[in-house]
Amino acid sequence: MERVSDPADEFSFLAAQAADAGLDGPLPHAERVSMQLADGRTLSGVAYGWEDAAPGPVVTFLHGAGLNAHTWDTVVLGTGAPALALDLPGHGDSSWRDDAAYVARVLAPDVASALERWTDRPQVVVGHSLGGLTAAALAASRPDLIEELVIVDITPGVDPDDGPSELRAFFAGPTDWASRDELVDRALSFGLGGGSREKVARGVFFNSRVRDDGRVEWKHHFARLAADAAADPSSASDARRRQDAVGALLGANGWEDLAEVRAPITLVTGTRGFVTDTDAAHFRERLPAAALVSIPSGHNVQEEAPLELAALVRDHLRQ
């Protein structure tokens, strides 16, 4: 297992996250892992509760657009099981894609490579938003890697990039800053993070990096794409059309993928999330064998109701 960062920095928040959630058990061993893909890009992730000499993860987590592996920290702590959380391409410590093709069937092969490398059994795969669509594409194409599928607050046809307007405006600002404190101030000015500077600072730390010139930038590619769109709408439209064309070519609407999945499927929706009652009813009509669970939360269920989601994941791990 390649160790590529100092866990004393990256994982120094785990104790506070556990305390915030009211969890008092021992913290799991956690470290960053990284692999090189066939085309030279890097795919990165976080290993919780397992090492080379120990059994591998039983659950794998895939985050949504603009997030990273650490969005799952509290869910992992609450689940108490060996887990792998990936940084999807274009996010966290994983490489950006030159073609900006962040659609499910493009991302799924990279996830499959990670599971081949770091898991030793079929996984319960939990995917939020863009990660949920990616998990469906993975389950359809590589059923040997999947034990169960848990999709969090997304269905095909719901745009995982169509977040609140204030969030789009937030990322459409400058592409770099003098310090992380500036980013925290900006997030608070947009009303993000629930008003808690400590939690916003934690999120900014996980989702930003300090460049060699000392300036701070977002890790995920979507921030750069949003800024480019704001600066040059015609160029952004061309890029989006190219991305949509790739998505259409590869069947990225997701219904075809879900129809091919043979593993049990659970859809988790947030009561204030992106998936409407109509969307959920359409999902049930298309996939009558799937389970549907609603949790009081917004779109980011893993951050707003992590223990409720962790309890659901635990139940699936016991089955």
What is the tens place of the pLDDT at every residue in 25-68? 899 999 999 999 999 999 999 999 987 656 799 999 999 998 99
Own/partner contacts of 197-203, CB < 8 Å, gap of 24 or more, are 198/16, 202/13, 202/16, 202/17
What pLDDT does 299 receive? 92
Find tokens 């913290």 and name the residue.
27
CA-to-CA distance for 45 and 33, rounded, in angstroms?
A: 5
pLDDT, residue 189, reads 85
| CA–CA dist 283, 277 (Å, integer) | 10
Q: What is the mean pLDDT of residues 106-116?
A: 97
Residue 156 near residue 258, CB atoms below 8 Å: yes
pLDDT at 194: 60
Residues 122 and 26: their CA atoms lie apart, in Å, by 26
Under DSSP, is residue 230 helix (H, G, I), strand (E, B) or coil?
helix
Q: What is the pLDDT of residue 276?
A: 94
Helices (H), the chain: 7-10, 14-20, 73-79, 104-118, 130-141, 165-171, 180-189, 197-207, 221-231, 233-249, 255-260, 277-286, 301-304, 306-318
**pLDDT higher than threshold 70 for residue 136:** yes
pLDDT at position 241 over 60: no
Of the candidates 30, 34, 26, 27, the residue with the CA atom closest to the CA atom of residue 10? 30
pLDDT band (50, 70, 90) for residue 248: very low
C-alpha 205 chain-centroid distance = 16
pLDDT in the model for residue 193? 63
Mean pLDDT of 197-213: 88
Q: At what angle do helices 233-249 and 104-118 cross, to 10 degrees?
A: 60
pLDDT for 6 beyond 50:
no
Angle at CA 125, nearest 5°, toward 120 and 128?
Answer: 150
CATH code matching the domain that covers 7-159+254-318, chosen among 3.40.50.970, 3.40.50.1820, 3.40.50.300, 3.30.360.10: 3.40.50.1820
pLDDT at residue 319 tops 70: no
Q: Above 80 in pLDDT, residue 242?
A: no
- The half-sphere exposure of 137 on its side-chain side, counting CA atoms within 13 A, is 25
In this predicted model, which residue has the larger pLDDT, 172 or 177?
177
Q: Which residue has the higher pLDDT, 77 or 177?
A: 77
3-state secondary structure of 18: helix
Determine the pLDDT at residue 281: 96
pTM of the predicted model, to two decimals?
0.89
Q: Mean pLDDT for the chain?
A: 87
* pLDDT for 159: 66
pLDDT of residue 163: 53
Provide the pLDDT for residue 177: 86
The values of phi and psi at residue 147, to 5°, are -95, -50
The pair of three-digit structure tokens given for residue 261, joined into one six-digit string: 């999945």
Which residues are known to be catalytic?
A: 129, 153, 299
Three-state secondary structure call for residue 36: strand
For residue 259, name the pLDDT band (cuts at 50, 70, 90): very high
Q: How confident is the model at residue 164 (pLDDT cuts 50, 70, 90)?
A: low
